[in-house]
Amino acid sequence: MGFLPYSGIYANIVLTGKRDMKKALVILYLLFSGLAAAAQDVWVNDLRTLFIKNSAVIYEINLRTFGAQDTNKNGIIDFDEGEESGNFLNAIARLDELRTQGVNTLHVMPVTPVGKIKALGTAGSLYAAAGFNSLNPQLASSKSALSLDAQARKFFNEAHNRGFRVIVDLPSCGSYDLYMQRPELFVKDKSGQPVIPADWTDVRLLNAGTEANINRDVYNLYQEFVDYMMDLGADGIRADVASAKPASFWKDLIAYSKRKDPQFLWLAEASESWNEPVGTVFTPYNKLLEAGFDGYYGSYFNLKNWKTGKEFIQNINAANNIIKKSDKRVIGSFATHDELSPIVVNGVAFSEMIIWLNAVLPVNSYFVDGFSTGDNYIYLWANKKARKTYTDDEYYFTHRGKLDIFNFSRQPGAKNLELQNQFIMANNFKLNIAPLLTNGSFIPLKTDAASVFAYAISYEGISLVVFGNLNHRTAVNASVSVPKITENNSVIPVKITASPTAEHGKFKVKLFPGEIQALLLTDLEVKR
């Protein structure tokens, strides 16, 4: 078998004859198709097109921590000692770092003002919105004479100048502070009290109305937010708990934004796995897609629970059936800010698996700040009494193993450079093969090991072959059926440790605990 090292640009492939020339043209197309958007002089939003091509590499950031300056390294921002929390302006310094890592889209967590009454954490939850027509004053830099709006515009402009598209989070609920100011916006129970959604004790449920009768007060609040974000420079919106509002509510709002900018993206926090209402309304993911959302979360966050390759392949097939022959797409929601750090769940190998699955599945990649260097999001001061608070909560409230969204805390990140190298390699590889992921045929491959998943994606004479071990404790030897594969086929190892061997239509492979491997077959199109 002719193994060739992956260089990121397929420079080591030897080409002879017309067949190989066709291969070269396909490879060059794969290489350069993802780069055109970065060559613009004047920013023109292309986020929806990028998303439909599965070419978005999305990086979720909390601006309050993204550029935080924790000089004494105690994990908390001590303003009395001259330390600075994250804001619109100091975030700019980190953008070049992300660009070199293959990120091309930012998901900015809520920038709305946060509630201070009945709060969670010493800064207040980002999702406890105290208003929708202004920015969170916590995100202003005191070192600049610019207004807060001007600082935000500078951030958006600098992001665009570096080729980043920017998605802004739209909170689902309102803070208790907002309820006190405008109680008519909220759902009331039979006793006339505002409804607390699930265990979100710091927020109250907004009343968006019903399918037949939208609450125009809440709708107008959201429309004003959309106008505000588009004016600042946002390229799309991620709708928090989108299922908690009627489809007709979203249909009107999305259509409104698309009339202003057809490329404006709408991503729904919704999944096939979620079917319990948060409040009085539940709109399933398929109805949200019909209402105009361009994409949704899917169920990949369940990867930590799947024990067999069969379960994993079934989930991929389900997602593919939803997006097949449509302009809807899914994100690689393996590790969102609502999920435990993969390091905590199953260690570094699990993080590597998530990195590469984002690169070799027909999804838009999705990562949380700190993930790429192995942050476990365990804060030593978590849930202890605070020395100082800016809300009515006297404790450093956090969710163990999850990104802190409640306090003025350190930048996310750890020191695993090997994981970061994998992150960079995988992102660059994904951008090179995006047309293959979008246009190729997804073909499950048979294996003789229950914990092993295997599949191929084939297009125009090229096949991407992937196999992984969902057993995170034990190594597995597996035989993977790949029709017509022989030892003479040309193979580029994209991500491997021990080289698999090919014989009589099968790969023989050894997979370490939690390991994922990926290969490119440059002269074989795997078919069902």
C-alpha to C-alpha distance for 115 and 402, rounded to whole angstroms:
21
C-alpha to C-alpha distance for 165 and 49, rounded to whole angstroms:
11
CB-count exposure of residue 483 (10 Å: 0-12, 13-18, 19+)? middle
In a domain, 359, yes or no: no
Domain of residue 263: give its range: 33-298+378-411
- Residue 385: how many other CB atoms lie within 10 Å: 9
Name 423's Cβ contacts closer than 8 Å, sequence gap at least 6.
101, 102, 355, 367, 372
The pLDDT score that the predictor gives to residue 500 is 87
The pLDDT score that the predictor gives to residue 41 is 67
The pLDDT score that the predictor gives to residue 455 is 97
Take residue 346 and report the two structure tokens written for it.
């199953």
C-alpha to C-alpha distance for 362 and 331, rounded to whole angstroms:
9
Phi, psi of 105 (to 5 degrees): -140, 135
- pLDDT above 80: residue 297: yes
The pLDDT score that the predictor gives to residue 267 is 98
The pLDDT score that the predictor gives to residue 486 is 85
The pLDDT score that the predictor gives to residue 87 is 98
| Predicted model pTM | 0.92
The pLDDT score that the predictor gives to residue 325 is 73
Q: pLDDT band at residue 504, thresholds of 50, 70 and 90?
A: confident
The tens digit of pLDDT for each residue in 98-125 reads 999 999 999 999 999 999 999 999 999 9
The tens digit of pLDDT for each residue in 457-497 reads 999 999 999 999 999 999 999 999 998 888 888 888 999 88
Domain count, the chain: 1
Tell me the percentage of the chain whose pLDDT exceeds 90.
Answer: 82
Q: pLDDT band at residue 168, thresholds of 50, 70 and 90?
A: very high
| DSSP-derived secondary structure letter, 503 | E
In a domain, 230, yes or no: yes
DSSP element (H, E) containing 391: none
Instruction: Scan for tokens 């609502």, then name that residue.
Output: 338
In a domain, 157, yes or no: yes
In a domain, 54, yes or no: yes
In a domain, 75, yes or no: yes
Q: Is 5 or 49 the better-scoring residue by pLDDT?
A: 49
> What CATH number should be reported for the domain holding residue 123?
3.20.20.80
In a domain, 105, yes or no: yes
